[in-house]
Chain A
């Protein structure tokens, strides 16, 4: 177990840029843009002679007189603000994990440092699994922590701005649910692991197998097959559903590292107001994706592809 921990640390050292710096930089840019937005709002507001809070006490009154339902809506809106930063970071995370997996078992063969790693008493299985763990647990965990912190900072930024206008936003803020947001985000990591596995497995298989240009193989192969299927369909000689192939295979082996894909397997998403929508997106609800065949077929396929990756890792040398 100790070896595994150090293997994961090794991955983190090598990919600090993608795992840590990428989400932090994204968060910083996100916060900066929001700050610029707030400043713009302030300046424009002043130029237009519109004084929030002081000029009219509407907002103030509003916060006092919110009925139950609107309070929920405001709380949900604030929660959305917190989610929004994580959503942006999630997209970055998707790209980071995609390219990480693609290089994980290829880069060290290319620069021959595999000869060093293989001179240590570490099994190929442990090596590959440590990389899977880094991609599906370490990277998303860091992204979620950074995302949640960014969300909280953003909430405070809005609160401070509003309080400059005499609005008691601390009351407003107390309507939001930071803990629930964080629980939902952290709680979806296990779901992410299961959902992302087929993509991670496919990319790592290509990464372990390709003698050169793993990206081309990983992308061109499934896309090429899809085009051939489409062509046969046009000719009417083959009866494989195009749509099924693109959504059930290509999207799963290339796109599932982007978080949230599992919502396609969750029924009853939506609602009349933001609070309801959010609650259908909550972690408790989204775990109903665990009941879908799509998810488990993906996991089974991933197990096979990772076994293949381990096998290639064993026998592909640098020559």
Chain B
């Protein structure tokens, strides 16, 4: 599916830029987009190594085992493929907690570690298994305790109460998450 999306994005852009007469801007965007990507990767690189390192310490110190025990009722429903104290289970818990606390920089490396563990324990050779899909869906609709970056931006623009949207964010993201989980669970049955 990513194959179609990648192709369609580029084709649609080219067609639209012909219609709107922005071919030159489009050409510039291709050049700047590529270097923008590399800049993002460089800034990601340090955080990635730092957090995979910290996670290894958390793992050996038993913090992740504790976490996976606490979360085991939810984990059993969402990720039936992975047992309570498996490496995948622990890495998933770390990622979910990091997301919940708003540690985006830490959540991505932990998530990648979780994907690697899931792949190692149940490898379908290039195809995503149900738990991997559930995991990525959770990450695309993740619930955040305090939407800090949003509040900072609101304040910068002169909001009188930058945090007052929090209840709306909680309700909306919870419903988005529930919908994501239900759709994923429904589709996995249909296509198995």
> Is A bound to B?
no
B interface, CB within 8 angstroms of A: none
